[in-house]
Amino acid sequence: MNKIKNILAVDPGSRYLGVAALENNQLVYYGVRRIKTNQLAGERIKEAERIIQKLIDYYQPQVLAIEKPLYHWSKQSKLLDKICVVIKETAKENKVRVREFTPEQIRKSVCGNSNATREETAEKLFSKFPESGMFSDKNKIKDRYWHHIFDAVSLAERIYK
């Protein structure tokens, strides 16, 4: 049996952070936190740090799961790299264990197939968390905003596997 009780999962971005919190394998929070884009890079990094610190303070996770940015995006965005670093550092400063996963590892864990589509992933998550209702609307799967949420919930679910 997995001894991890609380998980905070983050799908990082330079404008949005997809976030999910699980307590005792129950989805207790999911959402997207917006990083203001009218700020200088240094302020955006500090804002990401503040967001993560508040979430850690509130949910008291034992593990923070973070998606590794795709190489293509990482190469294009030094800001994204810095945000990922500050997320991991903030967790470690709070004695929260950090686990990183590639998108392929997440899909393989959730769906059993590293090439699973977003629709297949959403169906698996809906069967796991039907009470959330968030996966029942097929239009959400196509909405970029919801991609961050799906990815964060998939990350959190990955830890329990």
Residues 30-77: tens digit of each pLDDT: 999 999 888 888 999 999 999 999 999 999 999 999 998 875 554 458
6-160 under CATH 3.30.420.10, yes or no? yes
Residue 20 has pLDDT above 90, yes or no: yes
Angle at 137 between CA 127 and CA 66, to 5 degrees: 65
pLDDT for 137 equals 61
Out of 82-86, 112-116, 121-125, the most confident range is 82-86
Spell out the domain ranges in the chain: 6-160
Can you give the pTM of this predicted structure? Answer: 0.86
Question: What average pLDDT does the segment 81-86 reach?
Answer: 94
Q: Residue 34: what pLDDT?
A: 92
Give yes or no for residue 25 having a pLDDT over 50. yes
